Amino acid sequence: MTLFEFDDLFVCPECGNRLTAEWSCQTCAKSFRQPDGIPDLRSAVDAQTDRVRKFYERSPFPGYPERDSVEWLRARAERSEFARMLDRAIPADATVIEVGCGTGQMSLYLAHASRRIVGADLSRASLRLALAASQRFGLERAVRFIQTDLHRPGLRNGAFDVVYSSGVLHHTPDPAAAFARVARLARPGGWIVVGLYNAFARIPLRVRRAIARLSRYRWTLFDPVLRDRTHEPARREAWLRDQYQHPTEHRHTLGEVQRWFAANDVEYVRAYPSALLFRGERRRVRQGLSIGSAFGRLRRALHTVRRLVGTGTMAGATFLDESPRPRGRHVRHGGEALRRAVG
C-alpha cells in the first residue's frame, strides 16, 4: 500500500505531523513499518489497552465464515436495518474512518461509490483478515486498513466526514476520554456514529454470563449466536470470548453518552434503535399530547428492548451526531441527507 489517494488522512501518532511516502514522520523523523501491507502507526500503549489488543490478537472479531463473497458480505450486512440506513445516509464521496474495525465487515460494506474508507484497529490479526477479505472482494483500492491505537491515532484530526465506531469504546479503559479523542477525527460539520453497550439492554446477557461462568461455560443458555455457530468453531470462540470473557467492558446509559456529546461540543441527533421513546413521550406530555395507554407504552418498551437484545450482534445504542459549528470549511451537501435518513 502506498500513501497515494489517502495521504492526507494519515499522520505520525507520536507528534501528529505529516508522513512521507515511505511512512516516516516529516517532523520527528520516526519511521513506521508496514508488515503484510498494513501500516503499523502505533506509539506506546497503556497496559490495559495492550491487554485488549492481545485479547483480539487471539480471537479476531467477528471473523469470516469459510465460504464468503462480496454478495454474502452485502446480504449479511443488509440483514441489519441500521447498516442499510447508515449506508444510504453516507454521501457517495464521503471520507469515512471506522475506529476499531475488527475484521473489517462494516468498512468493506460501506466501500462503494467514490467513498474513501479507512479501517483502523489495534489487532493485527483482525486487520490481516480484513485486508485479505478486501482482496477477495476486489475492494482493496477503496479501503485502507491501518493498525493504530485510538488514543494516539495515526489519523489526522478533522480529516473525516464520518467517524464510525461500534463495539469499541466500551472496551477502552476510559470510554468518555476515548470518545473525546475519536470525536476530534471528524471535520467540522462531520458526523460521529458510535455503538455502545446499553446498560439496560445488556442485563439479559449479564444474567446469561453469570450462569455460564458458574457452570464453567457448559451452560451458555439461550445465546442464539452461539447456537448458530455450532459448526464454525473459530467464530463461535470469537463470540464467546468477546461476550463472556472480555477483560474490559463498560456499559452506558443514553444520558451519559449525551453528556459526552455535550462535553465535546457535538450536537446529539438520535439513537438507534430508538431509545428516544421516553424522551419523545416527555416532549408529548409537555405539549399536552396523548402518549397512549399504559398497555401500549409497555408494548412499545418491550419491542424496543427486544430489538436491542435481538440484534444478534451487539446489544447497544448507536448515536449519530454532527458538530454544530462548522469552522469556516465547506460543509458538504451530505450532512442534511445524513440527518434526514438516520436522524
Ligand X SMILES: C[S@@+](CC[C@H](N)C(=O)[O-])C[C@H]1O[C@@H](n2cnc3c(N)ncnc32)[C@H](O)[C@@H]1O
Tell me the C-alpha distance between 331 and 91, whole Å. 12
- Least separation in angstroms between CB 197 and ligand X: 10
One-letter identity of residue 200: F
Name which of 95 and 166 has its Cβ closer to ligand X. 166
Kindly state whether residue 14 participates in binding Zn ion, applying the rule CB under 5 A. Answer: yes
Tell me how far, at minimum, the Cβ of 52 lies from ligand X, in Å.
5
Assess 236 for contact with ligand X (CB under 6 A).
Answer: no
Question: Per CB under 6 A, which region of 10-18, 34-42, 119-127, 283-291 contacts ligand X?
Answer: 119-127
Reading the block at residue 71, the C-alpha cell is 454478495
Q: Which is nearer to ligand X, 309 or 337 (CB)?
A: 309
Q: Is 87 in the site for ligand X (CB under 6 A)?
A: no
64, 90, 111, 123: residue in contact with ligand X (rule CB under 6 A): 123
Helix (H) or strand (E) holding 338: helix 334-342
User: Closest Cα to residue 5, out of 116, 109, 91, 94?
Assistant: 116
Residue showing the smallest CB distance to ligand X in the complex = 102
Least CB distance from residue 24 to Zn ion, whole Å?
Answer: 9
Render 150-172 in DSSP notation, one character per residue.
TTS-SB-TT-EEEEEEES-GGGS
H or E element, residue 190 = strand 186-197
Asked if 52 interacts with ligand X (CB under 6 A), we say yes
Binding pattern for the stretch 238-267 against ligand X, x by CB under 6 A and - elsewhere? ----x-------------------------
Range in contact with ligand X (rule: CB under 6 A) among 34-42, 54-62, 205-213, 264-272: 54-62
Give the whole-angstrom CA distance, residue 37 versus residue 147.
11
Q: Which of 9, 23, 41, 62 binds ligand X (CB under 6 A)?
A: 62
Q: How many CB atoms lie within 10 A of CB 312?
A: 12
* Three-state DSSP class for residue 253: coil
**DSSP 8-state secondary structure symbol assigned to residue 198:** B
> 317 vs 82, 118, 206, 217, 310, CA distance in Å?
11, 23, 17, 27, 13
Positions that interact with Zn ion (CB under 5 A): 12, 14-15, 25, 27-28, 30
In the complex, the residues that contact ligand X under the rule CB under 6 A are: 49, 52, 56, 61-62, 100-102, 121-123, 126, 149-151, 166-168, 171-172, 242
